[in-house]
Chain A
Amino acid sequence: MHDNIIDRSKDITILELLDRVLNKGVILTGDIVISVADIDLVYVGVKLMLSSVETMEQLKSGKSLVEK
């Protein structure tokens, strides 16, 4: 009986923990996750952001983006 309470407390603790670490905290990209064919689009979002950062850096350093 006592074990059950301990298990339940652990359950609740884990649920609360997962809610925080999966839905809260600092994010690098957008909020709604839509997964297509089991690939999380949010990772694609991060890559997109990174490429635009690289583009920005190149622009700043005066490098041309397109090799003519």
Chain B
Amino acid sequence: MDKMIYSILAVKNNPEKLKTLLSGMKGIAGTDLYEVYFDQIYAVVSDINKTDLINDKSNAIQYAGVIEILAQQFTLLPMRFGSLMESTDLITKMLERNHHEFHQNLQKVENKYEFGLKVFCDSEKLKAELRARSEADNKTPAKAISEIKNSMYKNYMIKKLKEHRLEELLLTYVDSVIADITGYLTRLNAVNKFKKMATETTIIDAVFLLDKERKDALIHTFGDLQNQYTRLKFVLTGPWPPYNFVEITIK
């Protein structure tokens, strides 16, 4: 029997509230949920047979569902699916060793939601537009390229240079969109994490952490941004528990 950990919670005043909540819930494979704690840091756990644990989407979705319900009542750090430890004693020791870091991280996410943003576009179309807008393409290749003797390598370099410059134009454009978004989000006091060019179509993949009360303002902000950037498609999801804002390396 192994112990599956669902999340780490801050329980300040009323541990009874957690006990009551857990008694009315089930974990994956119909298992009971219980808590293991050290000081005010609690782990929500259920006993699981490895054989019950099919690496199957439905298990993971159920697991996430448990976290979702807990997050409605408590500040928490979600664990990644598959977090197993061998005994409650080991869990308590782990909580003790990492107590300070858990506490700090929990404070950082208290009363906040995570939101996700993906920005899509047609890269080829966008590059074509950017190229038309800029003069970079008209820049004649430097002498140090046009004078390359071997014509095969010369043409290769000219092609590569063109591609490179287009890439750079696209990146500069993406940077400017990110700067714009960041500008709006500073007003909402958000913490942001951006990933650029995850694919040719997904030019921005971002997550934000901000106060729960600011949810509507966030939606409104992206309404404005979408109107501004008609060539791009914005998709905002949330609210989520702070999966992307856990900053712990377990000791």
Interface residues in chain A, defined as those with a beta carbon under 8 Å from any beta carbon in chain B: 12-14, 16-18, 20-29, 40, 42-43, 46-47, 50, 53-54, 57
A23 and B55 within 8 A (CB): no
Least CB distance from A65 to B in Å reads: 18
Given contacts A17-B61, A57-B93, contact A25 B77 (CB under 8 A): yes
Complex CA–CA separation, A56 to B63 (angstroms): 31
Q: Is the interface of B mostly helix, strand, loop or mixed?
A: mixed
CB contacts (< 8 Å) of A13 on chain B: these are 237
How many chain B residues sit at the interface, stated as a range, is: 20 to 34
Complex CA–CA separation, A46 to B250 (angstroms): 11
B60 and A27 within 8 A (CB): no
Least CB distance from A35 to B in Å reads: 9
Complex CA–CA separation, A12 to B238 (angstroms): 11
| Cβ-based interface call for B185 (8 A) | no
B82 and A14 within 8 A (CB): no
Q: Return the 3 tightest CB-CB contacts between A and B, nearest first.
A: A24-B243, A20-B243, A25-B80
| Cβ-based interface call for B88 (8 A) | no
CB contacts (< 8 Å) of B67 on chain A: these are 21
Central interface residue in B7, B8, B243, by most chain A CB within 10 Å: B243
